[in-house]
Chain A
Amino acid sequence: MTTMMNPYLPEIATVLEVIQETPNIKTFRVVLNNKDRMAKFKYEPGQVGQLSVFGVGEATFVINSPPTRMEYLQFSVMLTGEVTSMLHTLSPGDQVGVRAPLGNWFPYESMKGKNVVFIGGGIGMAPLRTLLLFMLDNRKDYKNISLLYGARSPEDMAFKYDLPDWSSRKDMTTVLTIDREAPGWEHKVGLIPNVLLEMNPSPKKTVAITCGPPIMIKFTLQALKKLGFEDDQIVTTLEKRMKCGVGICGRCNIGTKYVCMDGPVFTYAQLKELPNEL
C-alpha cells in the first residue's frame, strides 16, 4: 500500500449475519476480513459507508451499530434498485466491499447535559439507532432521552429486537406509532408529527434529532417549530444521490456544500443557510 490511501478502494468484508427486518429491509452485520483493520476501525455515530457488490455497484448506508459496540458493522438496507436488490440476496459468509467511514456525524459532544428527542420514520430510524445506542452506552452524559419511532404498519418496524429494551427501560421514554390501526397493535396510531405534538416535549435545553422520508421531515419540522424548538436545536440527516462519497465526483452538492463531506448530518439552521435545492 502506498503512503496515501486510494479513497475508492473498498476493503473486503464478510457477512456475518443477515436479519430480515421488514418485508423490504434487511440488516447486514459484516466484519472486515483484515482483523487488524477491524480492530482499529474508528467511526463516529452518524457516519456512513459504501457497500459494494462487485459486478453490480456501490450504494450508501448508515453504519447503524454504534462505535461503542464494535463486534461488527451493521447496515440496514431498504430494497430500492440494483445494488440494494443484490445486497438482499446475500447470506452469511458472502464477501462484500466496504468503504467507510464517510461523511460527518451527529454533534453528540455539544448535546452533553441536554435532553434528546429522537424522531424516526421508517428506514430513517437507522442513523438514529446508532446515536441512541451510543447515548445509552454513555447514559450519564445526557439528560432525558425520548424516542418517537413511526412506521407504516407493525410489519414495517425495523429493529424489533431493540424495541423491548427501549420500551422497558426506565432511563428513556419510547413511543411507537403506526399510520393506521392494525390488529394486535398496542401502541400509538397516527402520523409522526401529530403524535409528536401530543407528546409535547419541552424545547428547554433539548435537541431534537429527526430522520425519515422527506414528507415526514417537512411536517416534523413544522411540528417542532410549533413546540418552540429553535433552528439550531433541530438536527437531521440528508439523503442525496452519491457516488464517490469523498467530495470529488461532484454529484451531491447543494450549493457549496457536499452532502458526502459536509453532511449527511445538518442542523436545521445550517439547512436554512443553503440554497433551496433539497
Chain B
Amino acid sequence: MMSAKYLAQGDLSAWLGALAQGRRVLVPVRENGAVVFRPYGPGVAPVLSRQADSPPKESVFPSTERLMEFSYSKDPENLGKVALDIKETVNAPATVVFGGRPCDARGFTVFDRVYDTKAIRDPYYAERRASTLFVTLACDAPETTCFCNSVGSSPVDADGSDVLLTPVEGGWLVEAVSERGKALLDAPALKDAPASAQEQAKAAQEAAVAAMPPAWDAAPAAAKLIEKFDDMGFWDNVSAKCISCGACTYLCPTCYCFTVTDERSGMKGERIRTWDTCMSFQFTLEASGHNPRPTKAYRLKNRVGHKFSYYPDIHKGPIACCGCGRCIKLCPVSVDIREIVRLAMELPTATAGKP
C-alpha cells in the first residue's frame, strides 16, 4: 500500500496550483448563493465546508455537448448535387475534480455500467471519464438529507475516487485510491504523513460514519416497488406535490438521460446532446399522441423505479442513487425520495432530521 501524505491547510493552493498545470481543475465555489463546481484559478477560494449544491456531473457529462458537426456542400460540377460531411467531435480535456464528496465520485460508477460496457461504449463519456480524476473529500459532517449509508455507500466511501482526503488537525490526510491517483500525490505541497495524522484520519472516518442517521437497507425496495407498480393510489399520493420541474434529475449525480437535437445555420450545423428528464411529459410522448407515462405519478414512479428497482435488477445489485440527498434538499416542494422508497418498503417514514 501507498504511504499516505499530509496536506497542510496553508499548502492547499500550492497543491491546487500544481494540479492545474496543464489541466482543468474544478473546485466547489460559491456563486450567486449556491455552491457549484467551477474552474480553479488564482483567487478562487474552494468551499470545502459543505456539500456542493450541484454535483460535478458536468465535468464528465456536460449539460450540453456537441456530438458531431455536419456540413452540406454543393458539387461545383453539378450544383444540383449536394454532398454531406459529418465530423465526430469528442472532446476530453484532462481534468481533476477537487473537493467533491464520496457520493459525487460514486455517481459516475452508476454511469459507467451504462455508458461504457462491453457491448456499447459512448466515446464522449468514456474518454472524458478516462481523462478525469477525482480528489474527493471524506465527509465529516453529513447533512440531514444524506442517506448514502442506506444505498450501499458511506461518507468515507472511496468508490469512483482517485484520491481521498480526510480532514485532520491543520489539514488533510491524502490517500491514493487508484493507480492514477498515485501520480497526483507526487507534489512538493504534500509531505509524508506522520502517524498521528493517520490515526486522526481513522478516528475522523469512524466519527463520520457514526454521525450518519441510522441506515436502512434500500435493497429490498427493488421488489417492493414492482409490487406497488399498479397501485396508482400510492403513486398519486407520493407525487401529489410535485410540479414536474425536473430539478431533482438535473441536480442528481446519477441521472443520465439525454435528448439529441440538431442545430443548423445555412449549410452547416451540429448535433447536440442535452440532459433530459423523465419528469417531463414530453419524455415518452409518442407520434400517435399516446403517452405511456401520462401523469406525474407515472413519471415519478419511473424515476424512483429506475433508481431503486430496474437498475439494480439489470446490474445485479447496485442502486442507481448515491444517497446524496440533493433531490430532497433542492426540490421546491420537498418531495422526499427516501420517504417514497421507505413507504414502498412499508417502513416508518420519519427519516428527515437528526435523531
> Which A residues are within 8 Å of any B CB, using their own CB?
2, 4, 6-10, 12, 54-58, 78, 80-81, 84, 93-95, 97, 213-214, 239-241, 243-244, 246-251, 253-256, 275-278
| 16 CB-based A-B contacts, threshold 8 Å | A7-B120, A7-B122, A54-B264, A54-B271, A95-B82, A95-B83, A214-B288, A248-B256, A250-B257, A250-B278, A251-B283, A255-B305, A255-B309, A256-B310, A256-B314, A275-B305
> Which B residues are within 8 Å of any A CB, using their own CB?
67-68, 70, 72, 80-86, 88, 90, 114-115, 120-123, 226, 229-230, 256-264, 269, 271, 276, 278, 283-288, 290, 292-293, 298, 302, 305-306, 309-310, 313-314
Alpha-carbon gap, A55 to B226, bound state (A):
41
**A10 to chain B: which residues have CB within 8 Å?**
86
Q: Are B259 and A243 in contact (CB under 8 A)?
A: yes
> CB < 8 Å: which of A80, A239, A246, A249 contacts B257?
A249
- How close is B3's CB to chain A, nearest CB, in angstroms? 37
**A95 to chain B: which residues have CB within 8 Å?**
72, 82-84
- How close is B45's CB to chain A, nearest CB, in angstroms? 36
Which residue of chain A has the shortest Cβ distance to B115 in the bound complex?
A: A248
Alpha-carbon gap, A57 to B262, bound state (A):
5
Alpha-carbon gap, A60 to B331, bound state (A):
35
**B290 to chain A: which residues have CB within 8 Å?**
214
- How close is A7's CB to chain B, nearest CB, in angstroms? 6
**A213 to chain B: which residues have CB within 8 Å?**
288
- How close is B292's CB to chain A, nearest CB, in angstroms? 5
**A214 to chain B: which residues have CB within 8 Å?**
288, 290
**A9 to chain B: which residues have CB within 8 Å?**
68, 86, 88
A6-B123, A250-B306 given. 15 additional CB < 8 A pairs?
A4-B121, A8-B67, A12-B86, A54-B70, A54-B264, A93-B80, A97-B86, A248-B115, A249-B260, A249-B276, A250-B276, A256-B309, A256-B310, A276-B229, A277-B293
Interface contacts (Cβ under 8 Å), in number, total 125
Alpha-carbon gap, A24 to B310, bound state (A):
38
**B262 to chain A: which residues have CB within 8 Å?**
54-57
**A246 to chain B: which residues have CB within 8 Å?**
120
9 nearest CB pairs, A to B: A55-B264, A250-B257, A95-B84, A80-B287, A54-B70, A256-B310, A275-B229, A256-B313, A55-B269
> CB < 8 Å: which of A12, A247, A253 contacts B84?
A12
Q: Are B260 and A243 in contact (CB under 8 A)?
A: yes
Alpha-carbon gap, A278 to B123, bound state (A):
31
Alpha-carbon gap, A214 to B67, bound state (A):
34
Alpha-carbon gap, A256 to B320, bound state (A):
13
Alpha-carbon gap, A202 to B306, bound state (A):
41
**B230 to chain A: which residues have CB within 8 Å?**
275-276
Q: Are A54 and B72 in contact (CB under 8 A)?
A: yes
Which residue of chain A has the shortest Cβ distance to B311 in the bound complex?
A: A256
Beyond A4-B121, A93-B81, A251-B257, is A241–B86 a contact (Cβ under 8 Å)?
no
Alpha-carbon gap, A255 to B314, bound state (A):
10
**B86 to chain A: which residues have CB within 8 Å?**
9-10, 12, 54, 97
Alpha-carbon gap, A79 to B90, bound state (A):
33
**A254 to chain B: which residues have CB within 8 Å?**
292
**B114 to chain A: which residues have CB within 8 Å?**
247-248, 250
**B310 to chain A: which residues have CB within 8 Å?**
253, 255-256
Q: Are A8 and B68 in contact (CB under 8 A)?
A: yes
Beyond A54-B72, A276-B230, A278-B292, is A248–B120 a contact (Cβ under 8 Å)?
yes
Q: Are A241 and B313 in contact (CB under 8 A)?
A: no
Which residue of chain A has the shortest Cβ distance to B117 in the bound complex?
A: A247
Alpha-carbon gap, A139 to B226, bound state (A):
43
Of residues B120, B264, B313, which shows the largest number of chain A Cβ atoms within 10 Å of its Cβ? B120
Beyond A241-B283, A275-B229, is A253–B306 a contact (Cβ under 8 Å)?
yes
**A241 to chain B: which residues have CB within 8 Å?**
283-286
- How close is A103's CB to chain B, nearest CB, in angstroms? 13
Beyond A8-B68, A247-B114, A256-B314, is A57–B120 a contact (Cβ under 8 Å)?
no
Q: Are A240 and B284 in contact (CB under 8 A)?
A: yes
Q: Are A81 and B269 in contact (CB under 8 A)?
A: no
**B120 to chain A: which residues have CB within 8 Å?**
7, 246-248
- How close is A238's CB to chain B, nearest CB, in angstroms? 10
**A239 to chain B: which residues have CB within 8 Å?**
286-288
**A78 to chain B: which residues have CB within 8 Å?**
287
**A247 to chain B: which residues have CB within 8 Å?**
114, 120
Alpha-carbon gap, A261 to B115, bound state (A):
14
Q: Are A94 and B285 in contact (CB under 8 A)?
A: no
**A54 to chain B: which residues have CB within 8 Å?**
70, 72, 84, 86, 262, 264, 269, 271
